[in-house]
Amino acid sequence: MFSKGFHQDGYAAMTTGKKMESKGTQIHLPLIGRGSRGELSDKVMFSQVKSPPEQLNNGQLLGGSQMNLCNGGAGAPITGLVPKIPNGYGDQKKPMASLTHLPKRPPVDIEFSDLSYSVSEGRKRGYKALLKCINGTFRSSELTAIMGPSGAGKSTLMNILAGYKTSNVSGSILINGKERNLRRFRKLSCYIMQDDCLLPHLTVKEAMHVSANLKLGKDMSVNAKKIVIDEILDMLSLAEACDTRTINLSGGQKKRLSIALELVNNPPVMFFDEPTSGLDSSSCFQCISLLKSLSRGGRTIICTIHQPSARLFEMFDFLYTLAEGQCIYQGLVPGLVPFLSSMGLHCPSYHNPADYVMEVATGEHGDWVHKLVMAVNKGNCGRGQSSTSSSSSSVPQNFNYNNQNKNNVKKEALEIVIDKPTCTVIDMSEPTLNTDKEKQIALPNATNLAPVTCTTSLLDSSESFTKKPVNSGFPTSGWKQFWILLKRTFRSIMRDQMLTHLRLCSHTVVGLLIGFLYYDIGQDAAKVMSNAGCIFFTVMFTMFTAMMPTILTCKYLICITQSSSSPLVDATHL
Ligand SMILES: Nc1ncnc2c1ncn2[C@@H]1O[C@H](COP(=O)(O)OP(=O)(O)OP(=O)(O)O)[C@@H](O)[C@H]1O
């Protein structure tokens, strides 16, 4: 079990097969992942290091991560993925952070078939098909990338899967093999947009507290919420910035905070719209590493991405490529180059396969889209196809993804939370959700913070969930939400120097102006119209100054919603 363990000192431990050291109260258990990749739990990040040739030649050590992504790229400098806390994610001597007190959630597999979507282009022009009968499966514990040229329909697909687009959609979307219940699915998923919509004047910790109060509500004590927040901040290396206002955070930190705000209620499905946009290469790498580690915790991570570097590309598990609203490849990332080769499209050596498939999708190599769509529909690519098409693939020939997947997901899921005095083991590998499958393990020195038990039957309408009325599913009452949001807004307004100063100045100036214009009109009956004018002017001014921030906020929301075709912004963020 420890033979492929990871070590903070790079690849050394991988070669020696040494047992990982336990730090403090934490036992760092390596996760044995599919395809022998270096695998991550919630507590580690990937880091890429150059590996000496003799180790790279040993497929046992680096497995899938040592794949040469370029077809026929033998002799190319090969790099491998070795788990380690990367720079910028905290002091390497610090014990690794992990998430153990989050609400328990079920793993979620999303399957869609014959999915089509069209939009009306007006009476005369009829409907335009944006997605054309596409099929696919996005699994838990996988980091899935949706790629494709601009306008291919990536955001549209993700919005449909997330449930933000429902009209004019045909086809079926199954969640763990059952018809999707949108209301319940929304509670199990989160959508993190390209632009980080954070309140600029709240500190990281305050934003997290608001999120925890809204999302965890009365299910948890104040102390337990604090522990959850600290764990998440620790894991995402935001602990040092916890008192920094979000306006002062770096781009990477903002992205991590967006993720942290959503992680509070531990959604098993996370959608990311271009998570790396606007980040430098190092932050991109850290961001994708983080997503990968989240996926290894049993979550289903789906993100759209534009032309990732080869280094980022090989970190994804599953690739779904769209062109003109149709799927031109779906399968494991190592299977892409062999699949394209089998179709007669040979990715040149030293060429980033992500770039190559984008070139193919945009038609730079000829009109291949239709042929690829046909091949995909015939089942020539997919999860089981990564090793069969070509010997040039670095994936071992006898690698059976499906079997491997089942076993390894189970191991990962069982190992993921064993690192705190009191911990809960959740058998996340079972798609049928049942609270009986949750086993409590009490370790020595148990704290009084029992793991929070949340319903795991959100997807299963036959279970206890149906006993409650559907609209009672919010963790906090309407009044409580109102109170939390009111406090948050008050705090934000008070800290907004610019707005507060401007308001004070404008009220003073307008007050002086009105006073000057209508000076001494009170006792003269001949000036009754001036009295009316004064009252009208004062009322209008007060009303509009109170209304303007709301109008501007709504206008801003509508603008960003229209420009990014993204779902409405979560109230947690704004
Ligand atoms: N409401 C709409 N009416 C008409 N066309 C639309 C509408 N929504 C989306 N489209 C079109 O659908 C296509 C797919 O849009 P989508 O936003 O999904 O693309 P994308 O692959 O995410 O692109 P990008 O990478 O540039 O964000 C685009 O050509 C877009 O113009």
Give the pLDDT confidence of 389-421 residue by residue, as tens digits: 433 333 333 333 333 343 443 333 333 332 332
**CA dihedral sign of residues 233, 236, 241, 245:** negative
Q: Specify the length of the chain in residues.
A: 574
Q: Residue 130: CB within 6 Å of ligand 1?
A: yes
Mean pLDDT over the full length of the chain: 68
- Strand spans (E) along 264-344: 269-273, 300-304, 318-323, 326-332
* Index of the ligand 1 atom closest to the CA of residue 565: 17
- Which ligand 1 atom sits closest to the C-alpha of 148? 21
Is 230 a residue whose pLDDT tops 90? no
The answer to whether residue 346 scores a pLDDT higher than 50 is yes
The encoded tokens of residue 371 equal 């042929």
Higher pLDDT, 63 or 127: 127
Q: Kindly report which listed range (136-150, 441-455, 538-552) carries the lowest average pLDDT score.
A: 441-455
Report percent pLDDT > 90 for the chain. Answer: 12
With a 6 Å cutoff on the Cβ, whether 156 touches ligand 1 is yes
What is the C-alpha separation between 45 and 228, in angstroms, rounded?
19
Per-residue confidence (pLDDT) for residue 466, from 0 to 100: 35
Query: Radius of gyration over alpha carbons of the chain, in Å?
Result: 27
Q: How remote is the CA of residue 324 from the centroid of ligand 1, in Å?
A: 10
- Measured between alpha carbons, how far is 227 from 101 in angstroms, rounded to an integer? 7
Over residues 498-517, the mean pLDDT reads: 85
Q: What is the mean pLDDT of residues 310-332?
A: 91
Whether 565 is in the pocket of ligand 1, judged by its Cβ within 6 Å, is yes
Select from 130, 157, 324 the residue to mutate for testing ligand 1; criterion: most ligand atoms less than 8 Å from CB.
130
Q: Whose CA is nearest to atom 28 of ligand 1?
A: 151
Angle between helices 204-215 and 478-495 (to 10 degrees): 170
C-alpha distances in Å from residue 328, one per residue of 68, 376, 417, 484: 22, 6, 38, 47
What residue's CA is closest to ligand 1, atom 30?
151
114 φ, ψ to 5°? 50, 40
> Among 121, 165, 565, which residue has the most ligand 1 atoms within 8 Å of its CB, making it the best to mutate?
565
For range 434-440, the mean pLDDT: 34
Q: Quick check: CB of 161 below 6 Å from ligand 1? A: no
For 198-219, write each residue's pLDDT tens digit. 888 899 999 999 988 888 877 6
Specify the pTM: 0.64
pLDDT of residue 100: 60
Residue 192 pLDDT greater than 50, yes or no: yes
pLDDT on residue 329: 92
User: Is residue 319's pLDDT more than 90?
Assistant: yes
Q: Which two tokens stand for residue 298?
A: 């049993």
Q: Which residues contact 12 (CB under 8 A, 6 or more apart)?
A: none
- Inter-CA distances, 206 with 224, 233, 324, Å: 16, 12, 43
Pocket probe mutation, ligand 1, options 121, 156, 166, 563, max atoms within 8 Å of Cβ: 156
Task: Tell me the sheet residues that pair with 112.
Answer: 136, 173
Q: 162 or 125, which is more confident?
A: 162
Q: Which residues pair with 203 in a beta bridge?
A: 245
Nearest protein CA to atom 29 of ligand 1, as residue: 151
Q: Which amino acid is at 14?
A: M
% residues pLDDT > 70 (the chain): 62
